[in-house]
Amino acid sequence: MNTAGRLGLYGAGLAAAFAVAFGAAGLVAPREAAAQSAQQEHSTPQEENGMNGHDAHGSAAQGESAHGAHAAAETTAGVSLAAGGYTLGPVSAPVAVGVQATLSFRILDGSGAPVTAYTPQHEKDLHLIVVRSDGAQFRHVHPTLDAGTGTWSIPWTWDAAGSYRVFADFAADGADPVTLTRTVEVAGSFAPVVPATSARTSVDGLDVAITGDLVAGSSSELTLTVRRDGAPVTTLQPYLGAFGHLVALREGDLAYLHVHPEGAAPAGADATSGPDVRFAAHVPTAGRYLLYFDFQLDGTVRTASFVLDAEDGAGKTPHQH
């Protein structure tokens, strides 16, 4: 992932490429998405496309062609375990809530060999996004690579049961960025939350709001504003080479979009900004999107979550159930 200044709509930055405990809203990923991933494990990888925030502004626009919804379905990223010539191998993780263990996986190339060389994107070789199927329990972390085996790993504990999507967002050395995903089941009782539109939230005593409209097939400006006790916060710190990251997940299939803020990159580690962070968002289809905004203040990274509806070109929003 490139530094701020690139347009697009993690993941930006859900990974608008849009977490914290996502209490206000969620969604249920269809079983068809998991089935599709399983079927594609032994199939020919498909080329990465417009739902990937690394080129969302251009490729997603191309996907919105005369083929309509069918074309848009073919230009989504983060819905398959194989794409762009790479495969996300099986994910090893704790099987129950509260168990302390390791989450690990490998990225495999077209010959089945583990990938050990990567091109850093936003100061990291790989970004790992984990979220429950209803949009709750969002995490954006950075595992460690064992260059000898190609295994990525990170200490892990599940806080809640359910079906989780694991997204690996990376660029293998010499290749284009790609986002791959697998499903991990965590045993226990699971009561899914229901998504409802929300443009304001609070986290750690900070009030965060998102303004702007999402329009399918068009670039839309979203502005995230951080305040404390009604006063604008102007001391946002750089995080992974930017003042904020936005990840969006589409309701229904959890298609992934990593978006990055507009404007110049932070001028050094001591630079500050705020209260506004702007993103150029480009979503391929109308519908509901879950957005997760990562930002750093006082040395701590926080995540604010939102739910927005994207209209189609005619200004209509599909009926939400």
User: Residue 227: which pLDDT band, with cuts at 50, 70 and 90?
Assistant: very high
Q: Report how far residue 247's alpha carbon sits from residue 245's, in angstroms, rounded to the nearest whole number.
A: 7
- Is the pLDDT confidence value at 104 over 90? yes
Contacts of 280 (CB under 8 A, 6+ apart): 7, 8, 9, 57, 219, 220, 221, 222, 259, 262
pTM as predicted: 0.76
All structural domains of the chain with their residue ranges:
1-321
Q: Report how far residue 272's alpha carbon sits from residue 289's, in angstroms, rounded to the nearest whole number.
A: 29
Q: What is the per-residue pLDDT for 56?
A: 35
Q: What is the per-residue pLDDT for 305?
A: 97
Q: Report how far residue 25's alpha carbon sits from residue 229's, in angstroms, rounded to the nearest whole number.
A: 24
Within its chain, how far is the Cα of 282 from the centroid? 14
Q: Which two tokens stand for residue 109?
A: 């190339």
- As to burial, measured by CB atoms within 10 angstroms (0-12 exposed, 13-18 middle, 19+ buried), residue 181 is buried
Task: Supply the mean pLDDT for the chain.
Answer: 80
- The conformation of residue 124, written as its DSSP 8-state character, comes to B
Instruction: Please state which of the ranges 45-59, 68-82, 159-173, 210-224 shows the lowest mean pLDDT.
Output: 45-59
At 88, the amino acid letter reads: L
Q: Is the dihedral of CA 5, 11, 15, 18 positive or negative?
A: positive
Q: What is the per-residue pLDDT for 258?
A: 66
Query: In angstroms, what CA-CA distances link 84 with 32, 46, 112, 122, 250?
Result: 21, 6, 14, 20, 21
At 222, the amino acid letter reads: L
Q: What is the per-residue pLDDT for 122?
A: 87
**33-91 confidence digits (pLDDT tens):** 334 444 444 333 333 333 444 433 333 333 333 333 333 333 577 899 999 999 999 99
Q: What is the per-residue pLDDT for 32?
A: 38
